[in-house]
Structure 1
Amino acid sequence: MALRHFLLALLAVVYTTGSMAELNVTELLEARRLAPSPGYVAVCYTPFHNWEYPMGNNPGNVGRLRAAIEADFELLSQHVTHVRTFHAMHYGIEIAPIAAKYGLKLYLGVFMTKESWRNVELNAAANAIKYHSDTVEAVLIGNENLFNFYERSWDILNTVNEVKALAGGDAWRVKFGTVQRLDAFLDAKYDWDMGQLNSKLDILGVNIYPFFDAGFRRDQPAALLDRLWNLVVNKYPREKVRLTETGYPTGGSAPSWAPNNVPSLDVSYEYYNAVAAWTPSGSETLPKFWFQAFDRRPEDPMSQVDHERFFGFFKTDRQPKRDNFPRRKASGDCGGGLERGVDYWGNDIGSAPAASAEACFAHCRSRAGCQAFTWSDYEGGMCWLKWGKTEVKPKAGVVSALLEC
């Protein structure tokens, strides 16, 4: 997205000592190892949807911003285990302690800026590493900023080194990386810079949006994602690459170059489920980040492009757009009610023999990514383990259940 880095810069947080400068433009899954797994989708987060966040002519209410961010993380903790941010702090409010409070793992973004609040941002990242390394799995420095060589590899690596120096002897506790557009990975003009980043960083985050490609097909929603991903991991080390953004807007207009990619809730939901089911070889246990948690406010500069306003799972007021979008997390301590004569069709990630449906709960809890099952008397009893419940069909003799509370 060509405008995203520039417009995010307009939303960058300004913090000064003693005052807030004006904005310029739980265990729910600890039992499941708090590890992303097949069928699992993580989420990207900014707090810009909150009215408390100063934006444009709206002064907001910075005094209440922390409470708003906490409310966001409390909601997200019901649905995901991992959150990716674009900043380490907002108006001096550090994100890592809030994520830790709600049991969420972080891919913590560090926004690269030359503004006066730069040191506060870098110190927030260092504090996150020093005091919340159990929460912060990765620190990602720079977002889509190689585009048109807005910044270069040495700018990113110098900032990485600054954060490491601030974190001191704790820097080893987390992985360091960057996030760039798909073309930075595939266009030869970026090869030198990407080679430098690859040689020095642990993580290379790639943003892939089939929505912005005329080759996207609704009847094969993950096919283009898979093809583009494979182009990336065939060029760069698979173990380093992460899908740091993908998504499909629920409203707005189609891109002029991809007029058939009309935004809609139905297509977005279908694509979400396709991403959840997509398990690229060698990367099955890595998080797949959906962009993004919440829709944008009308005064957000990014909303000038209408579809950019509607990428969120949730509306700006935290209300859901539909059921199971996103799915709720499953709890290792929960056992949902059994549905007899109902088949949770499709979504299979494995199977396990069991003499009764009740025994399937333990099998599902022990299988990464399992959030539901259907039991049948096949071969004396079999649990068909599933990443979720999306379509149901009546079927005599079978029993199904969700793990979610």
Structure 2
Amino acid sequence: MLRPLLFACVVARAVGLTGICYDSYLATSQVASDFRVIRTKFDAVRTYQTNVGGLNLIAEAAAANLKVAAGVWIRDPSIYVDDVAALVAGIKAHPDTVLAVYVGNEELMHGWSASQVIAEVQAVRGALVANGITSVPVGSVQTDGDFLNNPELAAVCDVVGVNIYPFFGSSPLAVLFPIQDLSTRYNAVVAAYGKNRVKLTETGWPTSGVSYGTPVISFATAQNYYNSYMSWTATSGADCPFYFQFQDVTAKQGFEAHFGLSVDGVSWKFTPPTPAPTPAPTPAPTPAPTSAPTPAPTPAPTTKTPAPTTVAPTTTTTKPALSTSNDTFVPEKGHFVSDDGNNTDSNATVVVTPAPTPAPTPVAIDKREDDATSGTHVAETASGSASSPTTSITVSVLSVVAVLALVAAVYHHYRKSDAIKPNTLLPGRRSTLTITHDAIAIL
């Protein structure tokens, strides 16, 4: 019953947090300022000891508003005793600051057996329980391979802390695709021991130093790995993973001295992402004030206009009714033609009453058209009405006279010629006379 409760505590405390490792090699005079710098970019620190030169790192983290994964160093008996005492005091004073307690760090790589580490984990848990501390999960930190090869150690841990470094990988793929290597190895431990228990406690890439095997050591390579790591943790990584480490430690040798994200503890080598701020709650919208009704304006008095002397008559026109289908109105036919070719003859009578204005006097405008044969001019009025009946009769009479004159001329011509008969005009074809209202055409 206790372990499921501890799992719930771990998840609740670590969701959405980002962390960085803090090396105990650093001078104690720097701890307070270092933690303030760390807090500008990260939410938590992982320590390898809890007591450093008389300073309780749990209390220091709480003062900087940081969470802490507190470490117990088990390779030195004197350090171990001081760490356990600081652990008990720090958790009692700041119960909400500690995410987890990690007993040891990679001892299986340094000749320890799984049973030795198990004994230390159980001893630290016993000391906490003896002091009434039961809500903080206790575990150990080893490499992913060592945890997979020693499931009995994982069985006694509330949290399984794994250190995974593609930089140290022997496979060329680990170097070419480091984040894929990190993800694959992390997921293998998760598959073995469960997502809620497994935590990424270290990963990193040095910015300088002599290359270890095939990996490339450069500032750009380290920056690319870090950026890819941050993207991975945002979508696939464990709750509150820890990157190694805050600052370069020049006391170490070779590339081991250059894993830090900062050279001097003041400025960053490359800018870690800033934690996203918590959005402010959206205030309820304030209703707009109701405007007072505007009184209707009083119309100004107007002078009565005398009635026109001539009132335009009310005209009644007939126009086609609007069609609700895709019909086409053909002006020449005066009706709609449907898409299927049928006529839509529904007409609507519209009464148009013009405003009472003096009726304009029609003005005759001559629109002259050259008559190709008779030279007749057709007069049209400005209203666009058709030619008068007198003009039509005149055109018809002239057309008939012209036809008779032409027939007489042709007949007289062919009577004088014995070689051509009148009925052989255009042999093989029939002559057709087409008479129009303004000309005669031989087709």
Q: Shorter-chain TM-score category?
A: 0.5 to 0.7
Displacement of 1:148:
5.2
Give the % identical residues: 31
The answer to whether the Cα contact below 8 Å between 2:24 and 2:48 also exists between their aligned partners in 1 is no
Using structure 1 for the length normalisation, give the TM-score.
0.61
Question: For each residue in 1:72-100, what CA deviation from the matched residue of structure 2 results, as whole angstroms up to 9, or x when unmatched?
Answer: 00000111111111101111211000100
2:247 matched to which residue of 1?
A: 294
Displacement of 1:167:
5.2
Alignment of 1:197-216 (within 5 A): 197-213=153-169, 214-216=171-173
Question: For each residue in 1:117-146, what CA deviation from the matched residue of structure 2 results, as whole angstroms up to 9, or x when unmatched?
Answer: 432121111112222220001000010001
**Relative to 1, partners in 2 of residues 1:169 and 1:327: Cα closer, same or farther, differing over 3 Å?**
same
Give distance in 2, aligned partners of 1:89 and 1:204.
23
The answer to whether the Cα contact below 8 Å between 1:206 and 1:241 also exists between their aligned partners in 2 is yes
2:402 matched to which residue of 1?
A: none
Give distance in 2, aligned partners of 1:170 and 1:216.
48
* Equivalent residue for 1:48, pick from 25, 32, 42: 25
1:120 matched to which residue of 2?
A: 82
Displacement of 1:175:
0.7
Displacement of 1:35:
4.5
Which residues of structure 2 form unaligned runs of 5+? Answer: 1-11, 282-443
Give distance in 1, aligned partners of 2:115 and 2:239.
25
The answer to whether the Cα contact below 8 Å between 1:126 and 1:167 also exists between their aligned partners in 2 is no
Using structure 2 for the length normalisation, give the TM-score.
0.56
The answer to whether the Cα contact below 8 Å between 1:36 and 1:81 also exists between their aligned partners in 2 is no
The answer to whether the Cα contact below 8 Å between 1:79 and 1:327 also exists between their aligned partners in 2 is yes
1:178 matched to which residue of 2?
A: 140
Alignment of 1:109-258 (within 5 A): 109-147=71-109, 149-166=111-128, 168-186=130-148, 191=149, 194-213=150-169, 214-216=171-173, 220-256=177-213
Displacement of 1:317:
4.2
Larger radius of gyration: 2
Question: For each residue in 1:20-41, what CA deviation from the matched residue of structure 2 results, as whole angstroms up to 9, or x when unmatched?
Answer: xxxxxxxxxxxxx97443xx64
The question of 1:307 aligning with 2:255 is answered yes
**Relative to 1, partners in 2 of residues 1:126 and 1:160: Cα closer, same or farther, differing over 3 Å?**
farther
Displacement of 1:173:
1.9
Relative contact order (C-alpha < 8 Å, sep 6+): which is higher?
Answer: 1
Q: SS of the counterpart of 1:172?
A: coil
Give distance in 2, aligned partners of 1:284 and 1:160.
28
Q: SS of the counterpart of 1:222?
A: helix
**Relative to 1, partners in 2 of residues 1:230 and 1:321: Cα closer, same or farther, differing over 3 Å?**
same
The answer to whether the Cα contact below 8 Å between 1:43 and 1:82 also exists between their aligned partners in 2 is yes
2:417 matched to which residue of 1?
A: none
Question: For each residue in 1:206-260, what CA deviation from the matched residue of structure 2 results, as whole angstroms up to 9, or x when unmatched?
Answer: 111001114346664411111111222222223211111000110112112xx2x
The answer to whether the Cα contact below 8 Å between 1:123 and 1:166 also exists between their aligned partners in 2 is no
The question of 1:101 aligning with 2:63 is answered yes
**Relative to 1, partners in 2 of residues 1:36 and 1:276: Cα closer, same or farther, differing over 3 Å?**
farther
Which residues of structure 1 form unaligned runs of 5+? Answer: 1-32, 54-64, 336-405
Q: SS of the counterpart of 1:137?
A: strand
* Equivalent residue for 1:316, pick from 260, 264, 288: 264
**Relative to 1, partners in 2 of residues 1:47 and 1:328: Cα closer, same or farther, differing over 3 Å?**
farther
Give distance in 2, aligned partners of 1:117 and 1:273.
36
Displacement of 1:168:
2.8
> AA paired with 1:126?
V
Question: For each residue in 1:249-282, what CA deviation from the matched residue of structure 2 results, as whole angstroms up to 9, or x when unmatched?
Answer: 10112112xx2x111121111111211111598x
The answer to whether the Cα contact below 8 Å between 2:69 and 2:100 also exists between their aligned partners in 1 is yes
> AA paired with 2:212?
P
The answer to whether the Cα contact below 8 Å between 1:126 and 1:163 also exists between their aligned partners in 2 is no
**Relative to 1, partners in 2 of residues 1:211 and 1:227: Cα closer, same or farther, differing over 3 Å?**
same
**Relative to 1, partners in 2 of residues 1:145 and 1:45: Cα closer, same or farther, differing over 3 Å?**
same
Give distance in 2, aligned partners of 1:128 and 1:228.
34
Give distance in 1, aligned partners of 2:138 and 2:234.
22
2:390 matched to which residue of 1?
A: none
**Relative to 1, partners in 2 of residues 1:315 and 1:155: Cα closer, same or farther, differing over 3 Å?**
same
Question: For each residue in 1:307-337, what CA deviation from the matched residue of structure 2 results, as whole angstroms up to 9, or x when unmatched?
Answer: 1111011013432213x2x2233332689xx
> AA paired with 2:278?
G
The answer to whether the Cα contact below 8 Å between 2:118 and 2:156 also exists between their aligned partners in 1 is no
**Relative to 1, partners in 2 of residues 1:241 and 1:179: Cα closer, same or farther, differing over 3 Å?**
same
The answer to whether the Cα contact below 8 Å between 1:294 and 1:318 also exists between their aligned partners in 2 is no
Aligned residues: 269
The answer to whether the Cα contact below 8 Å between 1:206 and 1:244 also exists between their aligned partners in 2 is yes
Question: For each residue in 1:170-204, what CA deviation from the matched residue of structure 2 results, as whole angstroms up to 9, or x when unmatched?
Answer: 32121111000122034xxxx4xx32322221111
* Equivalent residue for 2:276, pick from 326, 330, 334: 330
> AA paired with 2:203?
T
1:68 matched to which residue of 2?
A: 30
